[in-house]
Amino acid sequence: MTRATPTTVRPADLGALRDAVLDSAGTLGVTGAGTAAAWGGTLAPVDTVIDVGGLTGIITHNPGDMTVSVHAGTPLRELQSALADHGQQVSFDAARVDVGATVGGLVATADGGPAALVHGTLRDLVIGMTIVLADGTVARTGGHVIKNVTGYDLAKLMHGSYGTLGVVAEVVLRLHPVPKATATLAVDCTLDDAAAHAGRIFDRPLDPAAVEWYSTGSASGTLLVRMEGTVDALPRRVERLHSILGAAADSGAWDAHAAAVRGAPGQAVLRIGARPSRLAALVGSLPCATAAVGLGTGVATVALPADAVADAHAAVHAAGGTSVLRDRPDGFTGPAWGPPPSAIALLRSVKRTLDPDGRLGPGRLAPWLQEDPR
Amino acid sequence: MALDDAARAALARAVGTENVIDDPVGRRAYECDGLTGFRVVPDLVVLPRDAAAVAAAVRACAAHHVPFVARGAGTGLSGGALPVADGIVVSLARLKAVLDVDPVDRRATVRPGVTNLEITAAAAPHGLYYAPDPSSQQVCTIGGNVAENSGGAHCLKYGFTSNHVLAMEVVLPDGTVVTLGGDSAEQSGPDLRGVFLGSEGTLGIATSITVRLLRVPETVRTLLADFPSVEAASDVVSDIVAAGIVPAAVEMMDTLAIEAAEEAVHAGYTVGVPAALVVELDGPVEECDVQFAQVKEICDRHGCTRLHIAGSVDERAAIWRGRKAAFAAVGRISPDYFVQDGVVPRTRLAETLTRIRAMGEEAGLRVANVFHAGDGNLHPLVLYSAAAGETDRAEALSSGIAELCVEMGGALSGEHGIGTDKACSMPTMFGEVDLATMDRVRRAFDPDGICNPGKVLPTPRLCGERPGRYRPHPLEESGLIERL
Ligand SMILES: Cc1cc2nc3c(=O)[nH]c(=O)nc-3n(C[C@H](O)[C@H](O)[C@H](O)COP(=O)(O)OP(=O)(O)OC[C@H]3O[C@@H](n4cnc5c(N)ncnc54)[C@H](O)[C@@H]3O)c2cc1C
């Protein structure tokens, strides 16, 4: 029943997106910029691929309210540059934003970056959404105000759904002011030393904006601490931080950090979440080629030899954490996900209710979702 | 169908006979929450002593098709904990253990009956606190906060309950126990934790909750500023935001609210001014110094008639006392009132308040305003006298205001929830398909429809009925908690 080559459709508006879902039969894959095409479980061959890359642009930007709504295929970096003209931003800096990731794709993969320390991930910044379900239902959730408890928050279901529950069509985001001043201090040190530094930083009222360690190979690496604030006040705060770290300023190092998160072609890149205090030891125990470790967020991204992935999942799980495989070498057939969460039956129930025929994203959450529920 | 003997016996086995309230007088104490106009006496109340007993009670309900309603402190303002006919109430009041406070990873794990303020008390020795601060925080439970996704004055900068809950142990409506969320923000698949947060007790019962704790800010600066008009005060809010400042809190009160608050607590507000703003900044000393000067300058630019800066902890407390007293204090200037909780985009605050004033004049009723200006979350208080036969008019005005907020591009509720109170207004904000989709998600959690049925989404039965008048919550009357 599944064709060798799927039909690709590229709707240009919400109505066309709904029609594309309704007019196609069989399984559906959703693609944005393709920056995370290989992440999570491998997409099984599908009948139709919906390319949301044609759904782009800002729908409404209300600078005074600090909210913006966009079509889901909008690359976040394009949105950020439009917002910058107003001194505003989406306080979100996942590594693949730089390579063109779309807002919808970033939501669907529950991605995040160093700024999550203060601002959380898109789950915390999305205030409204329009989604298209596998039966052509177009549903709205949330709204255009930052404070809102009206009805169930269906946007949360889309966050981390990897295209298995619905197609994200429009997203409303909460914005923040671009900081007037930013500074980064960098210290070359081991992960253990970085964790100790982080402990000292979090014990004091320094309010860092991001605290990350990364390494591109050797046992040593670099601790990066970003501070944000006003032009007048920031220098004195940086001095305080400097007196603890004795570090040098180096804001360019964030590019190297993002590159470490993205990994190199052919690497198996594992995303890990755990208690911050357990993360250094956990990452230290893995045979990492490169690593980026959020010392306050508890989120790390590591590149591993392909044959170490299964054991790494197990080690993360043993430490109480969660893991998902991102990019991987061609032909890799190991596990993308760790052991299923305790709510697996609930997750399947949600899948059955929203996508009873199992049309969307087959394989993405494998082996957790039974792809054919009947 | 009333509760049958088999169901009663199963529930007694589940929680222990001594933890069941069966007598009519005892049950009556659970007939309503803070939305006192709606009352239903439950068939039975169970007070489980531990999480396992909660799960056992829910399993018994599932086996016998008994609808159940979770209840924390009963301070909810939207009728979320209103019992359902022929159903039981599961009170979480006895699940009060603080299981863990971890100062290194800055988190606490507590049972659902722990109050909001008790979490902060447990964290305080480590210089940490739990950020979301509903003004009922002395008594409302974290379980209730989770269910309502409660907010507070300081949520503008720090976010709402949803942004602070890492993980929960949840008893699903079939009695199975699952963990939603995890040790970090990294997710394994869709964010089911996020769906549960704010679901108003309709998707299951939380039996353990892990929250993030924040470090107590290095410094806090608070000012109280009077303005010649609500519009001028609204412009100040806009300019603060436009200057790139994210205050910890920005609260506004109008003449009527100020008058009521002053009469009640004498906190040093200026009686007779059209509008007053409370602005609070917190964080590193250096940043607060710079931004506080900017805020003062913005206030002056908009014709501030009096600027009072809290010079001590006591003065700061007085400013907040006045702000927080405003709600209950309205009871002093009016025999009865309804409260709304709509949200409007911040840029439409002044326009909305003008419309509300006109609507009030047209209805011949006074409306007091005391609200979270920073995030556009209004709390209009419609003053009326039931004795004078004004109830229907007041009720119409009150829902008219909630629906006006939707018309302005906002939302029906910012923090109090939809519950029973606003379920019938849901179609003003969401289309039929949106509501049907929400219902599908609800059924994925609760296929048998036994978990707090009839709340949040409109039902013909509910929307045919008429609510009674608002009466202040008993705790509020006693001055123990304030409403905002
Ligand atoms: C004077 C006053 C001031 C207030 N101020 C604020 C404010 O500033 N901000 C704000 O957001 N709210 C405010 N509220 C509303 C109320 O305090 C909050 O909604 C609070 O979170 C309710 O907590 P509770 O323990 O009283 O819950 P309840 O009223 O007992 O229950 C509320 C809902 O939660 C469900 N529930 C309770 N426990 C659980 C559980 N363990 N698992 C699943 N569901 C559960 C119930 O079924 C119900 O639907 C105020 C109320 C009053 C009376």
| A191 contacts chain B (CB < 8 A) | no
Q: What is the pLDDT of residues B293-309, one digit of tens each?
A: 999 999 999 999 999 99
Amino acid B438: pLDDT: 98
Residues 2-41 of A with CB under 8 A from B: none
Q: How confident is the model at residue B472 (pLDDT cuts 50, 70, 90)?
A: low
- Please judge whether B104 and A273 are an interchain contact, meaning their C-beta atoms are less than 8 angstroms apart: no
Residue A58 belongs to a domain: yes
Give alpha helix (H) positions in A145-294: 154-158, 191-202, 234-245, 253-262, 276-284
Query: Ligand 1 centre and the CA of B111: distance in Å?
Result: 15
| Helix/strand/coil for A55 | coil
Nearest CA in chain B to A88: B244
Give the residue numbers spanning the domain of A159: 52-177
**Which residues from chain B sit within 8 angstroms of residue A361, using beta carbons?**
none
The preferred substitution site among B45, B136, B477, B480 for testing ligand 1, maximizing ligand atoms within 8 Å of CB, is B136
- Residue span(s) of chain B under CATH 3.40.462.10 come to 219-407
Mean pLDDT on B317-338:
88
- Determine what percent of chain B is predicted with pLDDT higher than 90: 88
- Please judge whether A120 and B163 are an interchain contact, meaning their C-beta atoms are less than 8 angstroms apart: yes
Give nearest CA residue, ligand 1 atom 35: B201
Question: What averages of pLDDT result for each successive group of 10 residues across chain A (374 residues)?
Answer: 78 97 96 96 96 97 96 98 97 98 98 98 98 97 96 98 98 97 96 96 96 90 97 96 87 92 94 97 96 98 96 97 96 94 96 97 91 42
- Best CA proximity match to A128, nearest among A157, A151, A155: A155
Amino acid B329: pLDDT: 86
- Please judge whether B180 and A343 are an interchain contact, meaning their C-beta atoms are less than 8 angstroms apart: yes
Question: Among the atoms of ligand 1, which is closest to the Cα of residue B145?
Answer: 21
A266 plus A320 within the same structural domain: yes
- The single residue listed with the structure tokens 């003449």 is B255
Q: What is the CATH classification number for the domain harbouring A128? A: 3.30.465.10
Q: For residue B458, say if its preceding peptide bond is cis, omega within 30 degrees of 0.
A: no
Q: What is the CATH classification number for the domain harbouring A265? A: 3.40.462.40
A199 plus A113 within the same structural domain: no
| A89 contacts chain B (CB < 8 A) | no
Amino acid A217: pLDDT: 81
Residue A25 belongs to a domain: no
Lowest-pLDDT choice from A108-112, B105-109, B328-332, B443-447? B328-332
Q: What is the pLDDT of residues B243-277, one digit of tens each?
A: 999 999 999 999 999 999 999 899 999 999 999 99
Cα(B306)–Cα(B303) distance, integer angstroms: 9
A197 plus A259 within the same structural domain: yes
Q: What is the CA radius of gyration of chain A?
A: 21
**Mind telling me how many Å the CA of A127 is from chain B's nearest CA?**
11
Cα(B464)–Cα(B351) distance, integer angstroms: 32
A216 plus A81 within the same structural domain: no
Amino acid B125: pLDDT: 98
Cα(B415)–Cα(B150) distance, integer angstroms: 5
Mean pLDDT on B224-228:
98
Size of interface A-B (CB pairs under 8 A): 277
Q: How confident is the model at residue B332 (pLDDT cuts 50, 70, 90)?
A: confident
- Fold entry, domain B219-407: Vanillyl-alcohol Oxidase; Chain A, domain 3 (3.40.462)
The preferred substitution site among B35, B150, B327, B421 for testing ligand 1, maximizing ligand atoms within 8 Å of CB, is B150
**Mind telling me how many Å the CA of B402 is from chain A's nearest CA?**
12
- Please judge whether B191 and A159 are an interchain contact, meaning their C-beta atoms are less than 8 angstroms apart: yes
A241 plus A122 within the same structural domain: no
Cα(B366)–Cα(B397) distance, integer angstroms: 10
Q: How confident is the model at residue B481 (pLDDT cuts 50, 70, 90)?
A: low
Q: How confident is the model at residue B1 (pLDDT cuts 50, 70, 90)?
A: low
A327-363 burial code (b ≥16 CB/10 A, e <16): bbeeebebbbbbbbbebbebbbbbbbbbbeebbbbbb
- The answer to whether the CB of B210 falls within 8 A of the CB of B244 is no
Amino acid B333: pLDDT: 87
**Which residues from chain B sit within 8 angstroms of residue A298, using beta carbons?**
105, 183-186
Amino acid A374: pLDDT: 36
Residue A269 belongs to a domain: yes
Give nearest CA residue, ligand 1 atom 28: B74
Is ipTM > 0.95 here?
yes
Question: Among the atoms of ligand 1, which is closest to the Cα of residue B170?
Answer: 42
Mean pLDDT on B441-467:
87
Give nearest CA residue, ligand 1 atom 18: B76
**Which residues from chain A sit within 8 angstroms of residue B126, using beta carbons?**
none
The one-letter code for the residue type at B472 is: P
A148 plus A244 within the same structural domain: no
The CATH number assigned to the domain with range B5-91 reads 3.30.43.10
- Tokens at residue A255, please? 């590019």
Residue A370 belongs to a domain: no
A169 plus A193 within the same structural domain: no
A122 plus A185 within the same structural domain: no
B453 C-beta closer than 6 A to ligand 1? no
Q: How confident is the model at residue B478 (pLDDT cuts 50, 70, 90)?
A: low
Q: How confident is the model at residue B483 (pLDDT cuts 50, 70, 90)?
A: very low
- pLDDT(B477) > 80: no
Best of B154, B186, B221, B240 to mutate (most A CBs within 10 Å, chain A): B186
Mean pLDDT on B178-203:
96
A62 plus A159 within the same structural domain: yes
**Which residues from chain A sit within 8 angstroms of residue B402, using beta carbons?**
none
Best of B288, B418, B437, B445 to mutate (most A CBs within 10 Å, chain A): B437
Q: What is the pLDDT of residues B38-63, one digit of tens each?
A: 999 999 999 999 999 999 999 999 99
Cα(B218)–Cα(B283) distance, integer angstroms: 6
Amino acid B405: pLDDT: 96
B77 C-beta closer than 6 A to ligand 1? yes
Indicate the residue among A304, A327, A350 that finishes a domain. Answer: A327
Indicate the residue among A177, A204, A233 that finishes a domain. Answer: A177
Amino acid A87: pLDDT: 96
Q: How confident is the model at residue B467 (pLDDT cuts 50, 70, 90)?
A: very low
Mean pLDDT on B101-105:
97
Query: Ligand 1 centre and the CA of B52: distance in Å?
Result: 23
Query: Ligand 1 centre and the CA of B73: distance in Å?
Result: 7
Domain B98-215 classification at class level: alpha beta
Q: What is the pLDDT of residues A96-113, one digit of tens each?
A: 999 999 999 999 999 999
A254 plus A280 within the same structural domain: yes
Kindly report the number of other CB atoms within 10 A of residue B280's CB atom.
25
Question: Among the atoms of ligand 1, which is closest to the Cα of residue B455?
Answer: 49
Q: Helix, strand, coil % (nearest 5) of chain A?
A: 30, 25, 45
Q: Could you write out the DSSP letters of every residue in B101-168?
A: EETTTTEEEE-TTSBHHHHHHHHGGGTEE-----TTTTT-BHHHHHHHT---TTHHHH--GGGTEEEE
- Residue span(s) of chain B under CATH 3.30.43.10 come to 5-91
- Residue span(s) of chain B under CATH 3.30.465.10 come to 98-215
- Tokens at residue B117, please? 């303020």
Q: What is the CA radius of gyration of chain B?
A: 22
A153 plus A268 within the same structural domain: no
Amino acid B459: pLDDT: 87
Indicate the residue among A121, A152, A177 that finishes a domain. Answer: A177
Q: Helix, strand, coil % (nearest 5) of chain B?
A: 40, 20, 40
Number of domain units in chain A? 2
